[in-house]
Amino acid sequence: MKIKVINPNTTLEMTKGIEHAAKTAARPDTQIIAVSPEMGPVSIESYYDEYLSIPGVIEEIKKGEEEGVDAFVIACWGDPGLHAAREVTDKPVVGIAESSVYLASMLAARFSVVTVLPRIKTMLEELVDSYGASKKIANIRTTPMGVLDFERDPAAGMEMLRQEGKRAVKEDDAEAILLGCAGMAEFADSLEKELGVPVIDGVVAGVKFAESIVDLGKKTSKLKTYKYPEKKEFKGTLENFGQSQASIK
Amino acid sequence: MKIKVINPNTTLEMTKGIEHAAKTAARPDTQIIAVSPEMGPVSIESYYDEYLSIPGVIEEIKKGEEEGVDAFVIACWGDPGLHAAREVTDKPVVGIAESSVYLASMLAARFSVVTVLPRIKTMLEELVDSYGASKKIANIRTTPMGVLDFERDPAAGMEMLRQEGKRAVKEDDAEAILLGCAGMAEFADSLEKELGVPVIDGVVAGVKFAESIVDLGKKTSKLKTYKYPEKKEFKGTLENFGQSQASIK
Amino acid sequence: MKIKVINPNTTLEMTKGIEHAAKTAARPDTQIIAVSPEMGPVSIESYYDEYLSIPGVIEEIKKGEEEGVDAFVIACWGDPGLHAAREVTDKPVVGIAESSVYLASMLAARFSVVTVLPRIKTMLEELVDSYGASKKIANIRTTPMGVLDFERDPAAGMEMLRQEGKRAVKEDDAEAILLGCAGMAEFADSLEKELGVPVIDGVVAGVKFAESIVDLGKKTSKLKTYKYPEKKEFKGTLENFGQSQASIK
Amino acid sequence: MKIKVINPNTTLEMTKGIEHAAKTAARPDTQIIAVSPEMGPVSIESYYDEYLSIPGVIEEIKKGEEEGVDAFVIACWGDPGLHAAREVTDKPVVGIAESSVYLASMLAARFSVVTVLPRIKTMLEELVDSYGASKKIANIRTTPMGVLDFERDPAAGMEMLRQEGKRAVKEDDAEAILLGCAGMAEFADSLEKELGVPVIDGVVAGVKFAESIVDLGKKTSKLKTYKYPEKKEFKGTLENFGQSQASIK
Amino acid sequence: MKIKVINPNTTLEMTKGIEHAAKTAARPDTQIIAVSPEMGPVSIESYYDEYLSIPGVIEEIKKGEEEGVDAFVIACWGDPGLHAAREVTDKPVVGIAESSVYLASMLAARFSVVTVLPRIKTMLEELVDSYGASKKIANIRTTPMGVLDFERDPAAGMEMLRQEGKRAVKEDDAEAILLGCAGMAEFADSLEKELGVPVIDGVVAGVKFAESIVDLGKKTSKLKTYKYPEKKEFKGTLENFGQSQASIK
Amino acid sequence: MKIKVINPNTTLEMTKGIEHAAKTAARPDTQIIAVSPEMGPVSIESYYDEYLSIPGVIEEIKKGEEEGVDAFVIACWGDPGLHAAREVTDKPVVGIAESSVYLASMLAARFSVVTVLPRIKTMLEELVDSYGASKKIANIRTTPMGVLDFERDPAAGMEMLRQEGKRAVKEDDAEAILLGCAGMAEFADSLEKELGVPVIDGVVAGVKFAESIVDLGKKTSKLKTYKYPEKKEFKGTLENFGQSQASIK
């Protein structure tokens, strides 16, 4: 099967890392297509970045339809555009935050997220709450490092995750750690060994769940919330997002 | 003071209606600037439409900064881009869904929303939940009419709102009705007379709350969640959204 | 318009302070009538005080009807008698705790309350929960000072608020501070400057929301929960609270 | 032991019925003192009535201290003044709504309340929510009959409860029925026989719980929330509520 | 009346302690039968232990039916098998965790549990949540001591409870302490004296609530959730649990 | 890999159906071992049945350890013994209810469960609530048919599911249907075709999630809640459940 992994930011080095993680997790017979959108921010660290990454994500979903993709993974821990993506295609679309939360729920009773800048803490609180995990999340721990800081200085990133991970286990009653950024896959294994609890990278979780859903032949429900977008005109810079096909009523 | 009312969709006829409602509600000394973005969908009836309306909304917020605007109202009942808008400016930004919910909470114990197509019911459920109103909302009632259907055929729209409004009062224990679309302002007064309960249009509520916040000299907290976006590059079609100013740390 | 601001306690010095804050916030064309009830406690720091302040509050609401008042503000952070007040009149009635919570929700993602004695913490927790803000409230911080201690020794009060406010910002992830007592208005501006986050006094918030609701011509829903009290006899000391007019059925 | 059962309304006929129910439920060695306050409404059917019944309730609690009462039951399904009563005495105070909810939780998985006028539905929703029962309550069913209508025309009352009770069992998945008014004790047994599910009168539940707590020698926690009211002056009609004794700090 | 108190673990020394506590609390005319099941773990400190104690508990309930028992108390703070027990008999069955939570709710606004090993913290969190007390529970404090450690070394146990109890009062805003294990009854009185807040042992709470329910002549609702188990065959070691009587439909 | 699918009831015909569904969903390189415990009820339709199925389930988990099993699926929609199973092994254990809920959450915004007898509705409500899905579950629909009735008369079962499924879509706003019993796998595909929304069988969902977790090399967290059971003696019929190995501290 073909799974398209979309890194919603436009930093190709990071996309390469995500691609590597996805391919490691994927089955031999699964083809991984990892991309960044043509437009959008080089990293996502605010509502501003997140919303402005969505048009690019949607374009990649639409292209995926033509590319014969079987499922999509949105590889940013804010799951930007997830619900819109489910409107644009009937192929399964999973977010890595969502996948991390459900996977962790099957492995541990309580868990903490370790992520980037403090400003996104509230964003993530509301995100995990929307996945029904507010009682299971022990804490959302932020660091002074931004998304690309982890790319630039992996050693410092590893040390930061180690520190916060240890505090999560010791202070939060966390029994698993969720890595709250798509660029942290490389740290998961060594952290897991050090901390002695499951350390979950969302990219690989998303790929496996996508494979599972495709194996089961399941598609997104098109009954109501995730129907195709209504047929309508778009204006200005985004006019090519206009919908010609009618929504299935 | 100057209040900029942004209709996130690109249908200027609808913007005119919103402008009219806003001016009726505004104080004599309040200048209302009502606009539609240059880019985006002609109506918002899905996650797809909502997310794709946000870049245009953000542009209008940024322009507003140069125009010396004192506060912003986002005039679509999904409050698209509200949190991002609060990052982009320190001037108050209020959404009309948010304003409707808080105003209704001061007038009635329980209330229902009457809005457009069934597909947005879940979107609105999660929105009002994020405003803490899940216990106060008796029901979210949808209609077979889309946003522009209410523009095209106001008589049919009024009849539809009358029917659902009556059912909300009779079947939902609703003690007030929230009109779940920015294009419904014109129906509020006659509906209120017919139904005998407060009928709340979000545009006028948003304008009054914006005036109030400006009068109080309050601005959006820039401490953490709503800090200015991080300084970074954007690529492709959206490159002009790149941030040169550093975020206030 | 005429807005009656009711300080539910019977300390007139405090009422003067509240009147001053209200007048500063009100528009030139708004007449502020600030009163204390004739009966009741000199300060409100328990359920006992709160409930026993309500008969006096209700008397002032009833008088307000004769005085041609357009809206009421209940100026104690427990919003004593708010729901009963909404039964007694169809004019809008807002509480300052309620107003503080909704205003803060439009300016900050998370906020803390700083208030008087520890014993009221649970009261306020349940109050803000009833306004749907339990997820938005980072903490409710109490002080060893009672309501009138802040009147008697403003310098000590300011220092106490400064300390707790700083801790709220540093330890609670609070992005705004709510002053949890009607007598704290005078401290708001200097605290806001020092803390660098919005500091919200409920009295001024309540006045602005009351003005807004009157401008919009909205009244309390009389359909069910807030119908006029049922016609009935009262006995003993409170006999004059007997209802002769029939409730609107 | 001495248990004082306070009917917060001033209708003595109703107090007699409550006394009868309480005595039937009490152990032989338990002395029941059933009273109505000297002041207040003849029935409680609104926030207005409820708040205005509280001063009278508190007076009866205070008198009870001198009468050597061991525990108190507040016999109105709104539990008026419960938290204040717990401040005024260290003897246990239980409400009949609270008692009904806890008793029902030990007998049935889901239950409905059947009560008086529609206007109190929201009051009761928030009350049972404060007791943690929002998930266990299947429905709160109201009737067109007021509190005293049940006194005046018991046959009509019984028929009304029968109808709503049957609907609760059939339509709400209710596995027990809570009688949402202190004046309904007389109907409990025959209703239980007819409906085939536990029908719970709060008065008898409250008396048994009060006996239990006294047997266990437990008293209300005076640490913080329920400390004695602060020492202070009261003015006007309610001046005799002034506190001379200092609160235990 | 006859109340059967079932200690779900098979440590008879502990059952004796529970029997002593139960008899101290019971009325003279109440006969206490305290037993351990014939099968199961010597202590309960995990989901494994809890689930495996349930068959033994159910056997004791069934025997109780023949013994003419009027009510049952399940004397382990996890309330193992409570819902199944309510299916097997129509006599009231109360759990000691459940009873502790409801009793505490009538005495204090917020409370903490002090219990055994850290591993059960999540179990208890979900248990108290199912009783609607998640907002009232300030904290669940665990100790390094197992259930039988408290039997073996009561002095060390008392010291541990003293320490955690003091921290609960000082750090958690706890206004009462719940002893989270059936073997802690002996410590309650001296702890209460030392801490100055209600200290609640579930065994005595359960006995009093059981007496109350029997006095009221109430039985478990057999309408739906707690109907008698369906008639069916059981295989293997547990074959004698097969149901011959048909469930009341 | 080896996945052991445990049908917690002792009806081998049903186990065969579950085995068939599991093998159809499994990858060619996945070995499915489908078993029923040696002891326990022939079907699970109450708390009684559920708790009494758990010892048998645990035995099968323990055997699985010796059989070199890589992951376990508990194939009953109550997920009996799930948390205990996670204590007994470090291999992943997934329940089919849990898997159904997480899978559905990735395909639809709102969904209903269709299951067996009315008596289990509350059980399932609390189960899905523990998985954080209470807001996503539109309804839990029961039928008059028991577990084995679906085995005995598949045609009637299919008709029943068709009816309730259609009502779920039409009346509940359900956008997907969860089959709330392990014996309903055979009906999923044709129902999905008829209803036009995803129809989810938990057995296949559980198998795919188990495969995914094994592929990722993840194991259950042994830090705290899911540590191995404490070392201790068991008495009577269940003595062979005694733990000799010490729990990892």
Asked if residues A89 and A72 have their Cβ atoms less than 8 Å apart, the reply is: yes
If one compares D248 and C19, the residue with the highest pLDDT of the two is C19
Q: Distance between CA A158 and CA A141 in Å, rounded? A: 14
Q: What is the mean pLDDT of chain E?
A: 96
Distance from the Cα of D46 to chain B's closest Cα (Å) equals 13
- Same-domain status, D197 and D113: yes
Give per-residue pLDDT as tens, E44-68: 999 999 999 999 999 999 999 999 9
What tokens appear for A206 in the block? 């998303």
CA distance A200 to chain F (A): 9
The mean per-residue pLDDT over the stretch D67-74 comes to 98
**D179-200: per-residue pLDDT in tens?**
999 999 999 999 999 999 999 9
Q: What is the mean pLDDT of chain F?
A: 96
Write the DSSP string, D170-201.
Answer: HHS--SSEEE-SGGGGGGHHHHHHHHSS-EEE
Angle at C12 between CA C8 and CA C18, to 5 degrees: 70
Cβ distance of D216 and E176 shorter than 8 Å: no
Mean per-residue pLDDT, F128-151: 97
H or E segment to which residue C111 belongs:
strand C111-114
Domain co-membership, B103 together with B195: yes
What DSSP element (H or E) covers C14? helix C12-25
Say if the Cβ atoms of C92 and B108 lie within 8 Å: no
Put simply, the answer to whether A221 touches F94 (Cβ < 8 Å) is no
Contact across the interface for C122 and E109, Cβ inside 8 Å: yes
The single residue listed with the structure tokens 């060994």 is: A193
Residues facing residue A104 across a β-bridge: none
Residues D51 and D86 in one domain: yes
Residue D246 has pLDDT above 70, yes or no: no
Give the best residue of A107, A135, A136, A169 to mutate against chain E (max E CB count within 10 A): A135
pLDDT value, residue F243? 82
**What's the farthest any 2 CA atoms get from each other in chain D?**
55
Q: pTM to 2 decimals? A: 0.97
Of E62, E87, D109, the C-alpha closest to F48 is: E87
Question: How many C-beta atoms lie closer than 10 Å to residue D67's C-beta?
Answer: 12
Angstrom CA distances, C247 to B101, C82, D141, stand at 27, 18, 21
Q: What is the CA radius of gyration of chain F?
A: 18
- Rg value, chain C, Cα: 18
Which of F66, F82, F102 is CA-nearest to residue F6?
Answer: F82
Distance CA(E212)–CA(D205), nearest Å, equals 8
Contact B238 A43 (CB under 8 A): no
Residue F220 backbone phi and psi in degrees, to 5: -65, 140
Q: Is the domain of C186 the same as that of C211?
A: no
Rounded Cα distance, C237 and D36, in Å:
14
Burial C211-241, CB ≥16 within 10 A → b, else e: bbbbbbebbbbbbbbbbbbbebebbebbeeb
Contacts of B54 in chain A (CB under 8 A): 51-52, 54
- Which chains have 3+ CB pairs within 8 A of B? A, C, D, F
CA F147-F148-F149 angle, to 5 degrees, is: 95
Give which of C38, C238, C244, C249 to mutate to test D binding, by max D Cβ within 10 Å: C238
What burial class does residue E158 get, using C-beta atoms within 10 Å of its C-beta: 0-12 exposed, 13-18 middle, 19+ buried? middle
Is the Cα dihedral E148, E149, E151, E157 positive or negative? Answer: negative
pLDDT at F244: 78
The 10 Å Cβ neighbour count of residue D102 is 25
Collapse the DSSP code of F105 into the 3-class scheme (helix H, G, I; strand E, B; otherwise coil) and give the result.
Answer: helix
Distance, in angstroms, between C209 CA and closest chain A CA?
27
Cβ atoms A154, A186 nearer than 8 A: yes
Are D158 and D187 a contacting pair, CB within 8 Å? yes
Same domain, E148 and E175: yes
Provide the token pair at D202.
């709060």
CA distance B123 to chain F (A): 9
Token representation of residue A69: 């993709």
Interface confidence (ipTM) of the complex: 0.97
What does the pLDDT look like over E3-40, one tens digit per residue?
999 999 999 999 999 999 999 999 999 999 999 999 99
Distance, in Å, from the CA atom of B227 to the CA atom of B216, rounded to the nearest integer, reads: 21
Contact B190, B181 (CB under 8 A): no
Q: Is the same domain home to A62 and A119? A: no
| Contact predicate E222/E248, CB 8 Å | yes
Burial of A64 (0-12, 13-18, 19+ CB in 10 A): buried
The chain B residues in contact with chain D (CB within 8 A) are 109-110, 135, 173
Q: Which of B113, B77, B92 is nearest to B202 (CA)?
A: B77
Query: Is the same domain home to B101 and B177?
Result: yes
Q: Please give the Cα distance from C209 to C82 (Å, whole number).
A: 15
- In whole angstroms, what is the distance from residue D51 CA to residue C84 CA? 8
- Strands D40-41 and C234-235 come out as antiparallel
Burial classification of residue F244, based on how many CB atoms lie within 10 Å of its CB (0-12 exposed, 13-18 middle, 19 or more buried): exposed
Structure tokens at E223: 């309408």
> How confident is the model over F177-188, as pLDDT tens digits?
999 999 999 999
CATH code for position F48: 3.40.50.12500
Listed residue (B126, B158, B124) closest to B141, CA to CA: B124
pLDDT tens-digit map of B224-247: 999 999 999 999 999 999 987 655
User: Locate tokens 């960044």: which residue?
Assistant: A36
Rounded distance between C-alpha atoms, residue C100 and residue C203, angstroms: 8
Give the domain extent around E33. Answer: 2-95+205-247
Q: Is C8 helix (H, G, I), strand (E, B) or coil?
A: coil
Regarding chains E and C, contact by 3 or more CB pairs under 8 A is answered as yes
Residue E142's pLDDT is: 98
Task: Please give the pLDDT value at position A248.
Answer: 46
| Residues pairing with B139 in the sheet | B112
**C231 neighbors C247 (Cβ within 8 angstroms):** yes
**Cα–Cα distance for residue pair F119/F108, rounded to 1 Å:** 27
Q: Is the pLDDT of residue B249 over 80?
A: no
Structure tokens at C51: 């409930």
Instruction: Tell me: pLDDT of D117 over 70.
Output: yes
Chain A residue nearest residue B61, CA to CA: A48
Inter-chain CB proximity D237 and C39 less than 8 Å: yes
User: Residue F73 in contact with residue F200, Cβ under 8 Å?
Assistant: no
Asked if residue B91 and residue B6 are part of one domain, the reply reads yes
Closest CA to C92 of C248, C226, C218: C218
Q: What is the DSSP letter of F143?
A: -
The conformation of residue A225, written as its DSSP 8-state character, comes to T
The owner of tokens 């993840």 is F218
The Cα A144–Cα A169 span in angstroms is 20
**The pLDDT of residue C133 is above 70:** yes
| pLDDT at residue C245, as a whole number | 63
- Asked whether residue D210 falls in the same domain as residue D89, the answer is yes
Nearest CA in chain E to A136: E122
HSE-up of residue A151 (Cα within 13 Å, Cβ side) = 16
Question: Do residues D146 and D202 touch, judged by C-beta distance below 8 A?
Answer: no
The predicted model gives E189-216 an average pLDDT of 98
Task: Please measure the distance between the N-terminal and C-terminal CA atoms of chain D and give it in whole angstroms.
Answer: 29
Q: What residues in D contact E170, CB-CB < 8 Å? A: none
Same domain? For F21 and F115 the reply is no
Please compute the mean of the pLDDT values over residues E222-239 and round it to a whole number: 97
Number of separate domains in chain B: 2
Q: Do D104 and D197 reside in the same domain of the chain?
A: yes
Residues whose CB falls within 8 Å of the CB of residue D28, separated by 6 or more in sequence, listed in order: none
Is C146 found in the same domain as C64?
A: no
CA–CA distance, D180 with D80 (Å, rounded to integer): 13
Residues E108-166 pLDDT 10s: 999 999 999 999 999 999 999 999 999 999 999 999 999 999 999 999 999 999 999 99
E85-108 burial: b if 16+ Cβ within 10 Å, else e: bbbbbbbbbbbbbbbbbbbbbbbb
Chain C residues interacting with chain B (CB cutoff of 8 angstroms): 25, 27, 83, 92, 94, 98, 102-103, 105-110, 131-136, 169, 173, 175-176, 196-198, 200, 204-205, 208-209, 211-213, 215-216, 218-221, 223-226
Cα A134 to Cα A118: distance, rounded to the nearest angstrom: 18
Calculate mean pLDDT across residues D100-128: 98
Distance from CA of A112 to the nearest CA of C (A): 17
pLDDT tens, position by position, D10-50:
999 999 999 999 999 999 999 999 999 999 999 999 999 99
Q: What does the block give as tokens for B31? A: 């200048």
